[in-house]
Structure 1
């Protein structure tokens, strides 16, 4: 695979061009027919032995994990996913100003106490100060905790994160380089328009009535139309930056892309509900939007106060929209540790997200041991196949929950599906390769366990269509493909039909071909 690595290099501008992309895009094409390999289903002794032999050799371990197929990153916020160097370059190009004390970016003209962002191109110390303020780079806890430094970063670089199409291109390019097979990204859409609509219709505790008023007179439909147009413009810009459809295009062009709408859990209840409604309406109208997630610190006083109310809101909307096309729910829940929130709040967030909020996936789930009846909860999560998005680096940096303190192993022992994620790769200076390396070094995982993590990630993605596997978390091929070499060039007729009709199965088929190539490389 030839990678267009130069795209995200610092100081290289992304090409911008006009044009609009439709609701469907070329990266959903069924190009699975070109892959020739077959993937072994069981253990791969030679590959296992190779990994065991390099566990304590950082360079060779990184090479091995870098080559490993990694499913997809199920928990990535667009604004935090791209390198902070990319954001700084955007600030320089857009002529933004940087506060010399807080290092917050803002629009020109620059006032007293500010410097032009472009000064960072010639002042390395100034550039370093900005990057440290905008990320966890070199951070040492002191008067400011890792938690506070992390969440403050978003407000500091916010003015530099307006070019979503360019950011999507960087995100897609990096995902392809990491050997991922789909893109699922969280972002915000039309937040101001939702706030204005909510202000117009007013607040209320009757969810059915509030929902009706939000949809009345086509007001929400107009916002949905605008959000779809946003996606058109961003995808067109992304594909231009990646040179999609042209010679030398970036492999990121081939990855199917889906959006999760971010709902700000610290907003007023009626605004939170309005954002949720937008997310569900978008999922009904546009296959590129697949669901919602609540964002912002879970320990924020407003988020804590309104947690149960927000779960009831999701429960109500789930009852209205849980049909084809399905609007999915994945929630930040249990991103807490003792001392961040009252002890009482560590006892129910994850369970309430699943039982009341109908979450299909849980982001973080760090405080599971503090929940009421944690063993019962683990059993329930396993039975319902609720996946936990495991963010090892993020949880260590923000919550100081690392290594043996992390519940990653407990989830796996209980049979709860898990997938490794980055959370905010740019801010945290991580990537999927680093997350898999951490899983190997901290938890002693074997190759087949890494392969299961990657398969599980795609299986629990919100890509439309049936899975390649016969049942959730059972990586046995569906009946249609049981007799076909996985990832092979000539699937049986029934298997070919399954792949043609399912974006998810196509992505999984490509990954199986990649696993065969990987295993061939490291077999002996």
Structure 2
């Protein structure tokens, strides 16, 4: 499988499934029924604001709670120093959408072990890597983990960050996990998605974008047949000549169909025992392995963008594998130019990019100076994943002002950043992005590997940066506002700057209290995005009523 960001353990064959048309209909029905480095080379901590003042947004002051929010805000204040009660509060909190999620790294390690046992796989005991049978010398049956607790626990530690020592090399261990369980994940995309979708629903989220790699073997073969050409227009023409790229697109769509069937069977969709994830809107982001040869990288980019324009289940492209890898660093500017060219060919395809997942000491200073800036200015990314090395980039203030002006959101997975890069607290640019008015969304990245969930990330944000309830609520709203769902937003204007005010069609409506009027109903029927946003607002109303909010 082609793993999240590590090298392939074997080709990632499945890809992209979970159809959205029926799921969006279910969502709409549910909604209606609910009626730098700078020139002086300062450090990151010098450029971030303090934890408490981090709660101030672009306008310079926190948003005070509205009448309906006051009970929830008071409860949050009362339990802020009680981890158990705080966890319960954030479990119940509606938390928007999950926008930065790698399917292979999102499933619990325990479930991967069980799948390995079901498939009769073996484990090389020297590396704890899942492999095909037979289970000869130096190998154990994965099924042994069902009865041997020590073996089971050793697999959990090898395949995740469980019990990883604080002083260890988290970066290398994190990325190595994907190669160790890779033989498990490529077989069952639908089953993996069923597990992840249920988790997202249990976390009180309403939408999922997840990443995987479409038709990787055929894309690689096509790239090798075509070869490299520095003239990107000519290279794209060679890929499409004779229907070559279209055949790979068709294969990827076939994989998506098969994965969707597996998902629906595993989740028992359409039956009285349907699992919660059946009603979750899901979209796929096509991964591109940035450590490959230029022709392979370009082919994967073109495939993902062509899919995004031809199949509504696919919405965007992203680059994966370690950003600090040798090829990823050497070819970074070339990759940005490739994306810029292909965005001109496929203007309806979205682009979100891992950029700035770097830190001093991991790479040479010259590699810290431009990655986020080039992703924004050259590639035209609509969202940035991680963006951790922001203040080490040349002209970083101009970059964040551009991101704010264009509403380019940054996807922040706190635990992943801490485990891989050792960056947390005031070293993290979370506060800086918010201070400049950049949209921020919280995400999990690889919650199975990290051993966390989105509730943990919201709780971390609240405790570390002193966020108020209205600010946390707006973070959840932002994760739907900047999702790649089609249709008009429920909100008017730029909500990161001006606040979340209902669009004209729904102005005066009270989600969860009143039945939408004709204009609002039309918006909710015609816009997948607005339908999911309305559904979250209904959930917020119910959540706040639990703390004595007015009906």
Cα shift readout 1:355-376 (whole Å, capped 9, x = no counterpart): 1011100000000010112222
Selected match of 1:469 from 474, 480, 491: 491
Q: Quick one: distance in 2 between partners of 1:394 and 1:461? A: 20
What does residue range 237-276 of structure 1 map to in structure 2 within 5 Å? 237-276=262-301
Q: Quick one: distance in 2 between partners of 1:101 and 1:68? A: 43
Equivalent residue number for residue 34 of structure 2: 35
Does the Cα contact within 8 Å between 2:18 and 2:259 map onto a contact in 1?
no
Q: Quick one: distance in 1 between partners of 2:402 and 2:528? A: 29
Does the Cα contact within 8 Å between 1:103 and 1:133 map onto a contact in 2?
yes
Equivalent residue number for residue 433 of structure 1: 455
Q: Quick one: distance in 2 between partners of 1:57 and 1:388? A: 29
What is the DSSP-based 3-state SS (H/G/I as helix, E as strand, rest coil) of the residue aligned with 1:303?
helix
Does the Cα contact within 8 Å between 2:18 and 2:282 map onto a contact in 1?
no
Q: Quick one: distance in 1 between partners of 2:367 and 2:516? A: 50
Cα shift readout 1:122-155 (whole Å, capped 9, x = no counterpart): 111111111101000000155x500000000000
Equivalent residue number for residue 332 of structure 1: 354
What does residue range 101-500 of structure 1 map to in structure 2 within 5 Å? 101-141=126-166, 145-162=169-186, 163-322=188-347, 326-473=348-495, 474-488=499-513, 490-500=515-525
Cα shift readout 1:290-309 (whole Å, capped 9, x = no counterpart): 01000000000100000000
Q: Quick one: distance in 1 between partners of 2:428 and 2:344? A: 34
Equivalent residue number for residue 26 of structure 1: 22
Cα shift readout 1:268-321 (whole Å, capped 9, x = no counterpart): 011000000000110111011001000000000100000000000000011111
Specify whether residues 41 and 253 from structure 1 end up closer, same or farther in structure 2 by C-alpha distance, changes over 3 A only. farther
Q: Report the Cα offset of residue 486 of structure 1.
A: 2.8
Moved more, 402-411 or 304-313: 402-411
Moved more, 183-192 or 374-383: 374-383
Equivalent residue number for residue 10 of structure 2: none
Cα shift readout 1:53-99 (whole Å, capped 9, x = no counterpart): 00111111111100000001110000000001111111111111111
Cα shift readout 1:390-444 (whole Å, capped 9, x = no counterpart): 1100001110001121111111111111010000000000101000010111111
What is the DSSP-based 3-state SS (H/G/I as helix, E as strand, rest coil) of the residue aligned with 1:271?
helix
Specify whether residues 41 and 26 from structure 1 end up closer, same or farther in structure 2 by C-alpha distance, changes over 3 A only. farther
Cα shift readout 1:458-481 (whole Å, capped 9, x = no counterpart): 000001111111123341111111
Q: Quick one: distance in 1 between partners of 2:196 and 2:19? A: 20
More RCO (CA 8 Å, sep 6+): 2
Specify whether residues 257 and 221 from structure 1 end up closer, same or farther in structure 2 by C-alpha distance, changes over 3 A only. same
Does the Cα contact within 8 Å between 1:35 and 1:489 map onto a contact in 2?
no
Which of structure 1's runs of 4+ aligned residues deviate more than 3 A? 20-25, 40-43
TM-score scaled by structure 2?
Answer: 0.88
TM-score scaled by structure 1?
Answer: 0.93
Cα shift readout 1:147-174 (whole Å, capped 9, x = no counterpart): 0000000000000102000000001000
What is the DSSP-based 3-state SS (H/G/I as helix, E as strand, rest coil) of the residue aligned with 2:500?
strand
Aligned residues: 498
The runs of 5 or more residues in structure 1 that have no matched partner are 1-19
Does the Cα contact within 8 Å between 1:487 and 1:511 map onto a contact in 2?
no
Q: CA RMSD in A?
A: 1.6
Q: Quick one: distance in 2 between partners of 1:382 and 1:21? A: 33
Moved more, 26-35 or 271-280: 26-35
What is the DSSP-based 3-state SS (H/G/I as helix, E as strand, rest coil) of the residue aligned with 1:477?
coil
